[in-house]
A and B are shown apart, each in its own frame.
Chain A
Amino acid sequence: MDSLIAKADALQPHPKRRKTSHSHDNTQDSLKKHTSVPKSLRDKNPQPNVLPYKHIANKKLRTELTRNAAHSARAKALLDDAEMLLTEDAGVMQPEGELERTWRVSQSEIEVDAGQDAARGRREWKLDGGPYRSRYTRNGRHLALAGNSGHVATFDWLTGTLHAELQLQETCRDVTFLHDDSHFAVAQKKYVFIYDRDGVELHCLKAHIEPTRLEFLPYHWLLASIGNAGYLKYQDTSTGQLLVEHRTKFGSCSAMAQNLHNAVIHLGHQNGCVTLWTPNLPHPAVQLLAHLGPVSSVAVDPSTGGRYMATAGRDGVVKVWDCRNWKGAVREWSARGGTAELEWSARGALAVASGGTANVYTAPTIQQPMLNSAQPPLYLTHPIPHRPLVSVRFAPFRDILTIGHGAGLSSILVPGVGEPNFDSTEADPFENPKARREKEVKALLDKIQPDMITLDPEFVGSLAPPSKLSTKTTFDGKPAGEVTFARLPRLERLRVQGRADETDVGDPDDTSPHERKRTQEEKERKKMRGKGKSVKRFLRKQRKNVIDPTAVAIRAKLERQREERRALAKVTTDGPRKPSALDRFASK
């Protein structure tokens, strides 16, 4: 029996084994105090010293929490290393002399400087049939265009292969690809139609009446449309159901954008309002008055995680808004030529097409607050003689801006606006048909339910805020004393036992002792009862501004008594005061 126990003692389970192999190197220890390891020799990813869970008594829980924390710290460190994977360099356009300006550079000069291959991005498509709107797929390989008078085409613009060309013989107001290049939707005169890659009409969405703008939310598989009637409609393209329709109550709308990072739809209305919509709320999540006049275009910045929004109005003003704080625009300026079309690029450049020019502004300056309405420094400008300019689109993963105008499309080179490194699991310009099919299936499996759309997409998996209902004073409508220990909720039981984890999660510096919040109990004690009765209130009003000499006398007397009491208390607490030399001057 004893030998069994001895054997078992030797065979501790692994985590319980005490670490005994502390290498003590005397030389190293003596050196350590006076030197430091050079930076180049130091461990790049030191194991983080994680001991934040010391206070947790439950051993199993503590081990698991510590392991999780260490794991996430290691993952974060490894993420920094992953920069090695970014092999491609972004485009640049930098002035070398003091007198050089980037906006003076014309397209022909850029074409000369860009390589043979990159110069192919500079194109002019001369097309009849009214102003053209265009749209790229998410991987930037395919382009769809829709002319106002019914000319719709999709093609692989890199190889120049035409997929479909349709003459629809009716007004087409917008076009968008669905999850990839295999389907596209066109907002036609009366309904939205869905076509496949070859231009075969697959569906007529009769619920979407007189649509003006379309947006596809790729991770939710939702096609959102807004029309002349002012109804925002969401159609699930994986199940075919009309998910929800919101009545905006603002009438016809022709400005729509999606925030790529939280799938919120931004609408710009005729009365100058911009509203933010989710499928879950029957009213806008945010509504702000952005312009004095109709809003002509809205765009959301993808480079900052959807933090900034740009709007342009018929009043000729372009405004940049901070989506965290809606109090006034961050920056505003007037665009020459009136109504502007806007689009942000993946690296944060803002394209503004107004009048007869397309202007591009770059990132840090358009988001810096400015008191006057000065135009931010221009990065690049390109004149286009064919008015009106109705759409601007940046090609993903390219330095290309495509402008749709009255005589077709022209795509120009804008160095430095495109994200250089794509991720094959998200969008790959070079994917083959098999990869495309596989991605379609994977995306369907990972489809996010529409009720997960909120302004803050990170709410999933975060801790729920603590309940405001306190069980301290009452539980089940009874005072706490009445409730037996067994019936108390777990946290309350722990608190009674003194084992609750009361450690403050927040920053300990931000609370000073002076503005300490009063506890529930104190508040209850200090609460002034019976002050608000109507009679009392009436009498108080009557007493206002009336000086009663007796009341004044009594108040003075009370004050004097209070003073004496305070002095007495001070003497008793501090002890008898030592006689001072200055006492002789004190009034007796």
Chain B
Amino acid sequence: MKIRVLQHDPATHLPQRPGDPTPVSRNLNPLMHPFARVRERTRALNAAKMDRMFSKPFIASLEGHVDAVEVMAKQPGSLTTVASGSWDGGLIVHHLARRSQLLHVPHAHKGKVSGVCFSREGRLFSCGVDRNVKLWDLESSDTQPVTVFSGKSAFNSIDHHNSDPLFATASNLVQIWDETKSLPVSNLTFPTSTETITSVRFNFAETSVLASVGSDRTFTLYDIRTGKAERRVVMQMSSNALSWSPTFPTTVLLASEDHNLYTFDIRHLATPSQIYKGHVAAVMACDWAPTGLEFVSGGWDRTVRIWKEGQGHSPEVYHTKRMQRVSSALFTADARFVLSGSDDGNVRVWKAKASERLGVIGGRERAAIEYRESLKMRWKIDPEVGRVVRSRHLPQPVYQASKLKRTMLEAQRVKEDRRRKHTRVGLEKPKAERKKLVITEQT
């Protein structure tokens, strides 16, 4: 008779010497792990709840402006330096980490400061409705501008060239200036355009290309080498801001007056590549994260929203009781923080990921965070987990407005449907939502 009785050798299961880690043995047989799926769901639910519990995105409010903060700009190559200009003509350069002011000019411009930008070398440019562009030196404590460039009409926006000492301003036309010359080098305008240009931005990769949006509901592309406008798209509603993607050079993001954001691939201007719906009022500002995977937008509805590239719905929503209409929004260069400048005259600093813990995170904690993230992803279809993951508390007016908007859109859709059913229009294919935006494309 062959007999062997099971016995565990304690030497293999106990630490060899005191202080050694206890050996771990695994048996992956599913029968050894009852309720594996149910337990994983419980963990996913806990992860989702913990995520909401720890979501405290607000970090700080940077004060100093007397009136609404109109524009903000970050210094290239710096994680902490951010300039902001306000409606009372004040200009402040903030140090984010110290929460202090590197430069404070109470009356940099007469009337509002409409544009701020940094050059590669760290010089600060600001433009205002007083028809001046001023160049400031950050090193000196002097509150006088180094140079003043005066133009013919009020400026709405300014942006600096990525490598050359050139900058572009937007008024009723786009002007290119040399830093060393007092008059504009060239004027760029679309031949038939007469209306105001609200924002202008240089492309990061192809540095001579710049784009602008204007109050004539257009998005225009210029090239400073040819010295003229290349293409123009007329849309249903005007856009308030634009931002080039930092990682994909042909992608541009528009913040539109019709509550939506649009990304365009400039190779196919006939349709936007994605529509981002969520705001319940005009979107006033937008900015890409340096990773190109996320972007932030601020709107007239007093909320800041953080979107994932390619996901046109359910963004992260930030709001506070005291934050008024958001007129400028910025992602910091490390993609961890988001800045918003609003009508109440404050620049607010938020975390880009609401429940992220600041400070050093160890390897095991990082692993646990990643595990929780993947659990949430995997179980988001579960009704209970999904509800926790998706739901965001919104201020009453925003919530009501979104409800009303949904009702109105639904009614419109039903009406359109009925109209199609009883008219000859119904014989054609209904127009896709993405194709409704662009009216004409002109070259």
Contacts and interface: CB of A to CB of B under 8 A. Distances in A.
Interface in B18-63: 22, 24-29, 31-35, 37-39, 41-43, 46
A568 interface: no
B423 interface: no
Contacts of A13: 248
- Best-buried of B34, B379, B414 by chain A (most CB within 10 Å): B34
Interface in A74-108: 79, 82, 85-96, 100, 102, 105
- Best-buried of A89, A117, A430 by chain B (most CB within 10 Å): A430
Given A1-B230, A4-B205, A435 B6 contact: no
A430 B2 contact: no
B359 to A, nearest CB: 23
Contact of A431 (B8, B22, B414): B22
Interface in B225-248: 226, 230-231, 248
- Best-buried of B39, B267, B414 by chain A (most CB within 10 Å): B39
A562 B267 CA distance: 71
B417 A445 contact: no
Nearest to A461: B37
Given A448-B42, A486-B417, A302 B31 contact: yes
B189 to A, nearest CB: 16
B28 A79 contact: yes
Contacts of B10: 430
A377 interface: no
B105 interface: no
B52 to A, nearest CB: 16
B8 A429 contact: yes
A110 interface: yes
Given A8-B249, A109-B1, A430-B13, A486 B26 contact: no
B4 interface: yes
A11 interface: yes
A91 B249 contact: no
B96 to A, nearest CB: 31
Given A8-B249, A452-B38, A430 B22 contact: yes
Contacts of A113: 1, 3-5
Given A118-B5, A399-B5, A446 B39 contact: yes
A7 B206 CA distance: 9
A397 B417 CA distance: 68
B25 A90 contact: no
Given A7-B206, A461-B379, A219 B7 contact: no
A447 B35 CA distance: 11
Interface string A156-185: 000000000000000000000000000000
A404 interface: no
B274 to A, nearest CB: 11
A8 B26 contact: no
B142 interface: no
Interface of B: 1-10, 12-14, 22, 24-29, 31-35, 37-39, 41-43, 46, 203, 205-206, 209, 221, 223, 226, 230-231, 248-250, 266-267, 310, 379, 382, 410, 413-414, 416-418, 421
14 contacts: A4-B203, A11-B248, A11-B249, A60-B310, A93-B1, A113-B3, A117-B7, A219-B39, A263-B35, A429-B13, A446-B42, A448-B39, A452-B38, A460-B382
